[in-house]
């Protein structure tokens, strides 16, 4: 088994990441931060998703002494010049208040015509080891902002984001449908081979293990 710490206390994100990783390679275990209650809160002050993901991965790898993955993700709206972007989780001024963030974005888009409501969900996933090895991959899914929330699944801006090619928001998709096209799903599909190449020789993943199919 390859063990990686996930640098988040967001239970929704932990469950989603483990589900996607399991679908690619069941020999990778994603550990949450419950074993490290004193883990630091990392200030995400980099100007890019990749930069913020690396800040978190580095800090938690140093703290836990284990390979650590971290992601930074958000929604980039064309009519708002790419915002909220890296400020997605605190767009309303309160970090992690999904309902307020979502409503503020809808209010800001209220007069924007349907033809100009394009948006992208972007996710950067970083891996850092205590020895200083670092990798970053990214995933993007294009879509549009709908005019009212729809769907009960997902989290964050999922209820108001409709991927191109679908007539449902990401909060209306099944977990399997969302994982197949989501920004985080795309990033993790690129991330798993990186993990295997970097960590499998160190943590004992053999040539005959099922991880080989993901490389």
Residues marked active site are found at 72
Quick one: DSSP state of residue 84? B
Angle at 81 between CA 52 and CA 103, to 5 degrees: 80
Contact 151, 172 (CB under 8 A): yes
Residue 106: name the closest of 153, 145, 164, 158 by CA.
Answer: 145
Residue 151 DSSP label: -
DSSP annotation of 35: G
- The order of strands in the sheet holding 68-77 is 28-31, 2-6, 68-77, 118-128, 134-145, 161-163
């Amino acid at each position: 088994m390859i063990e990686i710490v996930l640098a988040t206390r967001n239970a929704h994100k932990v469950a989603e990441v483990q589900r996607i990783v399991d679908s690619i390679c069941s020999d990778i275990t994603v550990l949450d931060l419950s074993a490290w209650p004193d883990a630091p809160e990392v200030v995400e002050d980099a100007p890019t998703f990749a930069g913020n993901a690396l800040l978190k991965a580095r800090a938690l790898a140093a703290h836990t002494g284990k390979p650590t993955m971290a992601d930074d993700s958000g929604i980039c709206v064309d009519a708002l010049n790419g915002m909220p972007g890296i400020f997605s989780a605190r767009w309303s001024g309160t970090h992690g208040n999904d309902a307020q963030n979502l409503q503020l974005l809808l209010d800001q888009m209220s007069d924007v015509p349907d033809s100009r409501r394009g948006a992208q969900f972007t996710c950067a996933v970083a891996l850092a080891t205590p020895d200083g090895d670092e990798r970053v991959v990214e995933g993007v899914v294009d879509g549009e902002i709908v005019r009212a929330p729809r769907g009960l699944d997902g989290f964050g801006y999922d209820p108001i984001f409709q991927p191109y090619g679908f007539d449902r928001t990401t909060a209306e998709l099944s977990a399997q449908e969302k994982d197949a096209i989501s920004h985080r799903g795309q990033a993790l599909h690129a991330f798993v081979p990186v993990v295997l190449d970097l960590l499998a020789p160190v943590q004992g993943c053999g040539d005959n293990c099922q991880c080989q199919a993901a490389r």
